[in-house]
Structure 1
Amino acid sequence: MLILQLAIILIASKVAGSLSVRLGQPAVLGKLLVGIVLGPSVLGLVTETETLSALSQIGVILLMFIAGLETDIDEFKRTGKAATYVGFGGIIAPLAFGYLAGIILNLSVFESLFLGLLLSATSVSISVQALKEMNQLKTREGTTILGAAVIDDVVVIIALAFLMSFSGGDVNLTMVIFKKVLFFAGAILIGWKVVPWFLERFAKLKVTETVISSALIICFVFAYFAEYTGVAAIIGAYIAGVAISVTGFKHEIFKKVETISYSIFVPVFFTSIGIMAQFNGIAQNLGLIVALSILAILTKLVGAGIGAKLAGFSWRSSAGIGSAMVSRGEVALIIAAIGLESMLLSQDMFAVLIVVILVTTIVTPPMMKLVFKAKD
């Protein structure tokens, strides 16, 4: 059954992506929408399984690894201030207005704060693909977006640990912060000193495709330890890509990883987001879904956009950066699952937020297309 599902996903995602491009939209939009069509909500041809979920996770890890390989480290250093402004702007507005929305909905203080933190999450895996399609990934705007997303995720995860420790969750706050500091310190040191050495030594082994294998080993190890320390696997993969980007193996690895990724894993990731959509029983909460979706979109767009403007970007570029930060994607899905498990979200609110997260993910590519196309 899995083999047939993979075949269906691949043909549907490629055809839908091509159709999306013909209609003047990024290919990733078609891939997201076709996932909804294939999933249980419409045709029911593909269902979410543990294996499909694992392939999807590999897809997003490889996508962010590729983004790291394409990162210009000098440009990344120059955009550090801008990324900080955008990152915190993209946290403050959703957190504040999400908290107010929770209070209006008669949620408790902790539940309202959790809602604000969930809306503050950012997942640029979708934005990365849209930026690549528009040749904007290596620009100052693209580098700022990637840096801001890393800042967003780290700050939100630490803030979530604070919240859960105060709300009665079994969280050792000191250990949470220590693990994250340890990961980033270790990742930077290993990326600087060990990664080039490892690539040189591993490439000399008398077997086939040693270079690409060594790159994937680095990618998956970084992703694992990032997830183990509570940072996020995609951030570990991105840092691994950046570490390899300054070596002489960059171009060979990029070409081969891109081939592997876009032939199977990345299409599965994009399509699986739509497959996870569940629309049963949400009619009675349609008004709330619309209101929270508008709130989620506007707070990121305006908050991150103002941060970009304060960092010296034009209004047009600021709008493009803000739109790229709108997608909550798999990061918010993970946080929502934590909220449900820790009883900071009710089952009804969880179902509502899953749809809201999906809406923010779907609207991001066309918003970016509109702004960056006009910018050109």
Structure 2
Amino acid sequence: MLLFQLAVILLASKIAGDISVKLGQPSVLGKLLIGIVLGPSVLGLVNSTDILQELSQIGVILLMFIAGLETDADQFRKTGKASTFVGIAGIAVPFACGYGAGMLIGLSATEAIFLGLLLSATSVSISVQALKEMGRLKSKEGATILGAAVIDDILVIVALAFVMSLVGGGDVSLGTLVLKKAAFFAVAIVLGWKVVPWVLKRFAPLRVSEAVISAGLIICFLFAYLAEYAGVAAIIGAYAAGVAISLTSFKHEVFEKVETIGYSIFVPVFFTSIGVTAEFAGIGGNVGLIAGLSVLAIATKLIGSALGAKLSGFGWKLSFGIGAAMVSRGEVALIIAAMGLEASLLSRDMFAVIVVVVLVTTLITPPLMKLFLKPSPANEAEKTG
């Protein structure tokens, strides 16, 4: 059954992506929508299984690894101020409005705080693909978006750890959680500076096929594992691994082969599986709530992040383009929602509502980015998956 599902996903995602491009939208939008069509909500040709989810996880890790490999380190350093402004403002506005909305719909103060944090989350895995297709991943705004996503991830997870500790949902103290995250970034910097170049140089002479690309993938998966172990999203670890390798002479060799591996199977599975996992049963009575929270989630992240970008010196159009790239909540918000359900901070009905809201933010992100960010004249995206 898995083999059939993979064949269907790859065929449908490539065709849907091509149709999306012909209609003037990023190909990723077609891949997301075709997932809904293939999934149990419509045709039922593909079901969300554990194996498919594992393949999807590898897909998003490789996608962010590729983004790290394409990052211009000098540009990344120059956008530190802008990334900080975008990251903080992109959390503050959704959090405040999410908390207010939670209180209005009758949630307790703690539940409203949790909803605010949930709406503050960002996942730029979808945005990365759209940036690649528009040739803007290596631009100043691209570096700002990626940097802001890292800051967003750290701040939201630390705040979440604090809330969970208050309601008894955490097994360790807030101080320990913060220390683990700080330790990860310290270790990642040291490994990236000293160990990564050494490993690649030692692998290069080995008389086995594809030694360098194997070394690159080992580094990617280890960084992702360390990030996850420290309570930071695995995609942040994969991105850090890509940045570390981008500073070595092996950058282009690793990039070309990882892109081939990723976009031939794993990345399409990731995009399509987002739609496949969508469940629309039982939400008919909450259409108004879904619509309201969807508008709130989109507007607050768009406006908040855009204000941060504007304050850091971007023009209004680019600022809204950056804000649009931060709108998708993706797998990060789904993980947080699952934690909230387990800790009784979200009811089952509210959890179902949040899943649909997250899907809406993910679907709206590519066309919203296209509205504000025009493709680069010298489009650097050689492959769009």
Matches within 5 A, 1:256-295: 256-295=257-296
1:368 matches 2:369: yes
One-letter identity of the residue aligned with 1:156: V
TM-score w.r.t. structure 2 length? 0.97
Matches within 5 A, 1:87-106: 87-106=87-106
Secondary structure of 1:307's counterpart equals: helix
Q: Distance in 1 between the 2:24 and 2:83 partners?
A: 29
Aligned to 2:21: 21
Secondary structure of 1:373's counterpart equals: coil
Q: Distance in 2 between the 1:110 and 1:230 partners?
A: 22
Aligned to 2:304: 303
Q: Distance in 2 between the 1:176 and 1:234 partners?
A: 18
How far off its partner does 1:168 sit?
Answer: 2.3
Contact 1:36 1:42 (8 Å CA) reproduced: yes
RMSD value over aligned CA atoms?
Answer: 0.9
One-letter identity of the residue aligned with 2:110: F
Q: Distance in 2 between the 1:305 and 1:242 partners?
A: 25
Q: Distance in 2 between the 1:374 and 1:123 partners?
A: 21
1:61 matches 2:93: no
Deviation per CA, 1:171-211, whole angstroms, max 9, x where unpaired? Answer: 32111011101100000011000000000001121111000
Q: Distance in 1 between the 2:319 and 2:174 partners?
A: 35
Deviation per CA, 1:257-294, whole angstroms, max 9, x where unpaired? Answer: 00000000000000000001000011110000000000
Q: Distance in 1 between the 2:47 and 2:196 partners?
A: 38
Secondary structure of 2:374's counterpart equals: helix
How far off its partner does 1:373 sit?
Answer: 2.1
CA change 1:112–1:246 in 2 (3 A) is: same
Q: Distance in 1 between the 2:253 and 2:42 partners?
A: 41
Q: How many residues align?
A: 376
Segments of structure 2 that go 5 or more residues without pairing to the other structure are 378-385
How far off its partner does 1:166 sit?
Answer: 1.3
Deviation per CA, 1:287-315, whole angstroms, max 9, x where unpaired? Answer: 00000000000000000000000000000
Aligned to 2:221: 220
Q: Distance in 1 between the 2:309 and 2:174 partners?
A: 31
TM-score w.r.t. structure 1 length? 0.99
Aligned to 1:134: 134
One-letter identity of the residue aligned with 2:203: F
Deviation per CA, 1:108-165, whole angstroms, max 9, x where unpaired? Answer: 1111000000100000000000000000000000000000001001100000000111
Deviation per CA, 1:217-251, whole angstroms, max 9, x where unpaired? Answer: 00000000100110010000000000000100000
One-letter identity of the residue aligned with 2:101: A
Aligned to 1:323: 324
Secondary structure of 1:47's counterpart equals: coil
Q: Distance in 1 between the 2:306 and 2:107 partners?
A: 29
Contact 2:135 2:376 (8 Å CA) reproduced: no
Contact 1:82 1:144 (8 Å CA) reproduced: yes
Contact 2:134 2:375 (8 Å CA) reproduced: no
Contact 1:316 1:375 (8 Å CA) reproduced: no
Q: Distance in 2 between the 1:20 and 1:252 partners?
A: 30
How far off its partner does 1:374 sit?
Answer: 8.5
Contact 1:317 1:375 (8 Å CA) reproduced: no
Q: Distance in 2 between the 1:224 and 1:14 partners?
A: 30
Matches within 5 A, 1:111-126: 111-126=111-126
Aligned to 2:381: none
Q: Distance in 2 between the 1:175 and 1:206 partners?
A: 44
Aligned to 1:314: 315
Q: Distance in 2 between the 1:173 and 1:25 partners?
A: 43
Aligned to 1:82: 82
Q: Distance in 2 between the 1:158 and 1:204 partners?
A: 43
Q: Distance in 1 between the 2:155 and 2:142 partners?
A: 20
Secondary structure of 2:373's counterpart equals: helix
Aligned to 1:164: 164
Q: Distance in 2 between the 1:358 and 1:375 partners?
A: 28
Q: Distance in 2 between the 1:374 and 1:24 partners?
A: 11
1:340 matches 2:341: yes
One-letter identity of the residue aligned with 1:80: G
Segments of structure 1 that go 5 or more residues without pairing to the other structure are none
Matches within 5 A, 1:132-211: 132-170=132-170, 171-211=172-212
Aligned to 1:356: 357
Secondary structure of 1:327's counterpart equals: coil
How far off its partner does 1:375 sit?
Answer: 9.0
Q: Distance in 2 between the 1:289 and 1:54 partners?
A: 28
Aligned to 2:380: none
Contact 1:226 1:236 (8 Å CA) reproduced: yes
Q: Give me the identity figure in percent.
A: 70
Contact 2:134 2:376 (8 Å CA) reproduced: no
Q: Distance in 2 between the 1:30 and 1:235 partners?
A: 25
